[in-house]
Structures are given as structure tokens and as C-alpha cells.
Amino acid sequence: MRHAEGPLLVVDASEHETYTEDVEDVLTSFVGGRGVGTKLAHDRIPFDADPLGPDNSLFFTTGPMQVSNVSFTGRTNCTGVSPLTDGLLSSNAGGFMSRHFADTGYGAVEVTGESDELVAVHVTDEGVEFESVPELDGATVPETCEYLEETHGLDAEHVACIGPGGENEVRFASIMTTEERAFGRGGLGAVLGSKNVKAVTFDGDSRPEIEIPASAMDIHREAATADHIMKEQGTVAVMDLANEMDGLPSYYFSEQSFEGADGINGSAVAEKKYKKGTCSACAFACKLPTKDEAAGVETEGPEFETAMAFGSNAGIDDVVDVMKSNERCDRYGLDTISTGNTISAYLASEDAFGDEELILDLVDKIAHREGVGDLLAEGIDRAHEELGVGNWTVKGMDFAAHEGRVLHGQGLSYAVANRGADHMYATFYSVEYPLVGDDEAMEPTGFEGKADRLVERENLMALNDAGIVCKFSRDFMSPERYELLFDADFEDLLAVGERVVELERHFNNQRGIDRDADRLPYDLPGFEDALDDYYAARGWNDDGTVPDSQVSGGSGAVSADD
């Protein structure tokens, strides 16, 4: 099986020391990316670790595909215990950092402990430098990147950093790379902030020599020549379809369609796009560099989730207003989905939907934990009672845009996903709109056959995240191509994904997360039976826990040797 290579570099922020460990057995069993990050986190982070304490660790990882020039591989993974969900969580970011990470020669980098001063950590193939950076206290993401380029010659493509959101431990703060790409969802930026680490940079000339078949470049050529709407509109291309299906969350989830969708849909975003945008080595170029000169705003996006959270859910029908919110979140290092949804909750409590000036002011207040921003920085799950609104979260994570009240399999996916109400955990929405061929499509309502299919998709997405292969490669990948890329039988590769999902669930079980957390804030007919079917398909207990027979001892190791 083709896998990432290199030792684990442990960065102890408390002592400003580093050392390496051989993790070849983990790499060979879990490929790379989310797989390796999850296995290392499961075995090395105490089950009772405080997400914002020194015992929590962040694991940066890539996979074997990051040494190639194949499209859909410009991504890096980060894993740790989430301060938003209190469970184990992985996030991956696009952009251009993944190749620079691979150039360091490390298979994984663990950041643990807590520095007594604000530092930047510079990781190279020749060693690690801890740099005291008090001048970056409170700096935005662009300001941090500018400093690192001026003082170290490292442009934003080498940088993973936080803004004020991470420093102030906003529970949905992001780690940003390439300035505008985010390790979003779940608040890993707050974890880095709790360690007093402003930035981690990666550079070197020691990329592992992993042989990728030349025929894999067929994927690259097809990505370059494909006529695909995402190349013009990104993910927001699906907004009109969702709205027509009565499946676009609006006005803090109180409605399911938005009369102002034309102002924030794919066509509206495409009008503001001024050049192509992509990730490292990818010819698909589905990113959305946008600007509006009259408003003085230039950003990347919004994608569909952001257009929902800061658009329809907030009662905003002008794409330029959404762009302003998107840009400000990137500057402060905040997850756009959780920030927009949390602000929408506040707007609902104040009957203030559509107030763009208030929205931008609240973004500022959240990032700096000022006034009501201190409450909102805790996220909807912790703030909803004081706001007097419904708790539109699963496991503490607020909902993405794909409406589970219409797409029932996606609703089930939100409920059981170890990350909470996140759409990328299984991307089940793609088979229910559908965005796939007729042979793969399923009816949006009902649960017949969906539990087994959900297991398959969760395993496949975990494999993609281990690879790392972008989930938007779905039209270009097949079992045969997975076998080609990873030099293994497709079923064996899916088994890697299965182990990753199981490790996450087992870790979370030890933190008290079980069936009681696999809940939705709305009723779906047949949901409880579907939940039973899902557990049965996974071989788990009826209470949503992993059986003892499927785990082995230690601080939490699930066997990967079978």
C-alpha cells in the first residue's frame, strides 16, 4: 500500500524542544493525512484532555499524493480534540502548503504543550526554530503572513497561522494557510491559540521519493479539460437546486427557502469572480477569487456554505455583503460557517435579520471576545439558551447548508458523524440532490438502503482524507483509480477508512459521546430505525459505542494489524 513516509516530529511548545519518533507502522496501516493524524491522536492524547489545555495536541499530516503533481491533491490535514464538539476532529485545508510540508521530510508533525510566550515555530528539514513574536499579538492573518515573508522570506504558501480568533480561543476559530484557505470547522485555531503558537511554517528540500504511476496523470488531464460548472461557480452552484427543493436553510433555520437567493447564488458569485483560482498542482481550478471595486472588497469565495450562513440564514440577499463577511472571517481566522450561523442565531434573538452593519460588527466582536461577542464566541450550543433560540447543532457543531429535513440520508449523516453536523464527513448530499449519475443516485426522502450506503461513503471520505485526495474529485475517481494511486485493493483501502471512523468514535466514546449525541433538532420518520441500522452496519453497540472486541488496550489503540 502506497503511504506517506518520514518520522513523527514532536514539537513541545512548553519546553521549546523537539524530537522525532519512528511511526512507520502507523504510516503503513493508515496511509497518511487524517488516517495517520487520527491514529496518532487516539494513542497519544489523553482521553480526558482539555481541548484548550496543554495535553491536547495538534497533528499536521499529508499523504502520499502530496509528492505528486496529480490534480485534487493540494491539501493538508490537521487533527486534535475540538473545543467546539469536545471530540476528536480532523480538518483539511487546500491551498499550496501541502508540498512545502512534504518538503520537510516528516511524515507527521505534532504540536503539544503550551508556550509561556507567543511564538512562531519554523519547521525545516534542517531543524526547528522557536521564534518569540510578541509583535504579532493580535495580528490579523494577512499581517502575520506579511511579517513572515518580510523577516524569513516565507510567503503565505508556507504558513499555517491564526488570527485574533485563535488567540482569543474562539471555539470555532480556524487555522489559516495561503491566507484564505482554512482548517475550518471545529475550532482547531483555538487549540493552536491555547498553545500560544501564532504560526507554524514549513520549508525544506527533503520530499520523500514515492513513486506515483505515470498513468495517474490521466486524472490531471481530465481535470484540466472537463467542462464543469464548479470551475465557474464553485460549490455555490448548487444553491438554486437546493432552493427549488425547499432545502436552503434561511432565517436561522426557521425557513427552508430564500426569496433573495438570486442575489447570492452561483451566478451572482460568478459575476464577481475576476480570475481563476486553484490549489497546488490542481488543474480543476474550482476556487473563487472575487472582488467588488465599488465596495473595496477582495476575497476568495463565498462558497455555498458561507453564502448560506452569511446569506440566506442571516437574511442577506446581496453577494457583496456576503463577500465582506467572508473576507473579515478570513482576516481574523474564523470559520465562516459557524461564525455566520452563530450570528444568525443572534439576529433571530434580536429580530434583526438583514442588518449587514450589525453582522460585520458582530464578526469583529466575536474575534476579539468583546461585549456580546464573548458569548457568541462560545458557539450556538453553549449560547442558545441565553439567546433564547433553538439549538441548531449536533455534538456542538452547527449545521452546514445541505438540508437534512429534505435530504434524509444527509440528515442521518449529520447525526452520526463524529465531527457533528458537518456535510463533508460523508458528502451524502451528493447522492440525494443528486450530483452523481443515475446509477449512484438515491431518493432524497426516506432511509431505505441508506445506512449501509452511509457507512460506505464515510469510509471512502476517510480514505480520501488519508490520501489526501480532494472530495471534489468524485467525477474523476473510480475503484480502479484508487487502486492505481495507492497500490492496494479497493476493499483494503476502504478498510483503512473504516478503521479511521472507528478510532474517532472510540476516542469520543471515552469522552462520554454516544447514541445520546447522535441526535437532530428535528424529527425524521424512521430515524431511530435508521440509527439502529447504521450501528448494525458498523458492528457497534446499540448505544453507539464501539464494542470492546473491536478495540485493544493502551491509551486507546484500535488494532490496525488485521
Q: What is the pLDDT of residue 552?
A: 62
Q: Are 24 and 76 in contact (CB under 8 A)?
A: no
Please check whether residue 210 lies inside any domain of the structure. no
Q: Provide the mean pLDDT of the chain.
A: 96
The DSSP secondary-structure symbol of 287 reads B
For the cut 70, the answer to whether the pLDDT of residue 554 exceeds it is: no
The DSSP secondary-structure symbol of 407 reads S
Where do the H-state alpha helices sit in 163-295?
164-167, 188-194, 217-225, 230-233, 239-244, 266-272
User: Does residue 64 share a domain with residue 110?
Assistant: yes
For the cut 90, the answer to whether the pLDDT of residue 293 exceeds it is: yes
Please check whether residue 562 lies inside any domain of the structure. no
For the cut 60, the answer to whether the pLDDT of residue 560 exceeds it is: no
User: Does residue 296 share a domain with residue 181?
Assistant: no
User: Does residue 249 share a domain with residue 128?
Assistant: no
User: Does residue 99 share a domain with residue 117?
Assistant: yes
Name the residue among 59, 45, 58, 62 with its Cα closest to residue 6: 62
Q: Are 310 and 340 in contact (CB under 8 A)?
A: yes
User: Does residue 52 share a domain with residue 182?
Assistant: yes
For the cut 90, the answer to whether the pLDDT of residue 527 exceeds it is: yes
CATH number at residue 420: 1.10.599.10
Mean pLDDT, range 418-428, rounded to an integer:
97
For the cut 70, the answer to whether the pLDDT of residue 191 exceeds it is: yes
User: Does residue 179 share a domain with residue 50?
Assistant: yes
Please check whether residue 215 lies inside any domain of the structure. no
Length of the chain: 562
Mean pLDDT, range 52-67, rounded to an integer:
97
Number of domains comprising the chain: 3
User: Does residue 434 share a domain with residue 380?
Assistant: no
**Phi, then psi, of 177 in degrees rounded to 5:** -140, 155
How far is Cα 59 from Cα 533, in angstroms, rounded to an integer? Answer: 33
User: Does residue 427 share a domain with residue 388?
Assistant: no
pTM, rounded to two decimals = 0.96
Mean pLDDT, range 165-185, rounded to an integer:
97
Mean pLDDT, range 188-208, rounded to an integer:
98
- Give the pLDDT confidence of 110-150 residue by residue, as tens digits: 999 999 999 999 999 999 999 999 999 999 999 999 999 99
From the number of C-beta atoms within 10 Å of its C-beta (0-12, 13-18, 19+), residue 549 rates as exposed
For the cut 50, the answer to whether the pLDDT of residue 543 exceeds it is: yes
Please check whether residue 221 lies inside any domain of the structure. no
Q: What is the pLDDT of residue 216?
A: 86
User: Does residue 132 share a domain with residue 240?
Assistant: no
How far is Cα 100 from Cα 97, in angstroms, rounded to an integer? Answer: 5
CATH number at residue 296: 1.10.569.10
Domain stop point among 150, 168, 203: 203
Domain stop point among 398, 429, 448: 398
**30 three-state secondary structure:** helix
- Give the pLDDT confidence of 374-420 residue by residue, as tens digits: 999 999 999 999 999 999 999 999 999 999 999 999 999 999 999 99
CATH number at residue 175: 3.60.9.10
How far is Cα 245 from Cα 251, in angstroms, rounded to an integer? Answer: 17
Please check whether residue 523 lies inside any domain of the structure. yes
Q: Is the dihedral of CA 229, 233, 238, 240 positive or negative?
A: negative
Name the residue among 511, 502, 561, 508 with its Cα closest to residue 537: 502
For the cut 80, the answer to whether the pLDDT of residue 558 exceeds it is: no
Domain stop point among 372, 398, 424: 398
Q: Are 97 and 158 in contact (CB under 8 A)?
A: yes
**Phi, then psi, of 269 in degrees rounded to 5:** -70, -45
For the cut 70, the answer to whether the pLDDT of residue 25 exceeds it is: yes
User: Does residue 288 share a domain with residue 151?
Assistant: no
- Give the pLDDT confidence of 451-471 residue by residue, as tens digits: 999 999 999 999 999 999 999
**Phi, then psi, of 136 in degrees rounded to 5:** -95, 5
Q: Which domain holds residue 30?
A: 8-203
Hey, what's the torsion of the CAs at 392, 396, 401, 402, to 10 degrees? -90
User: Does residue 182 share a domain with residue 243?
Assistant: no
Number of H helices, E strands in the chain: 22, 16
Please check whether residue 216 lies inside any domain of the structure. no
User: Does residue 111 share a domain with residue 237?
Assistant: no
Q: What is the pLDDT of residue 561?
A: 39
How far is Cα 268 from Cα 414, in angstroms, rounded to an integer? Answer: 29
Please check whether residue 312 lies inside any domain of the structure. yes
Please check whether residue 392 lies inside any domain of the structure. yes
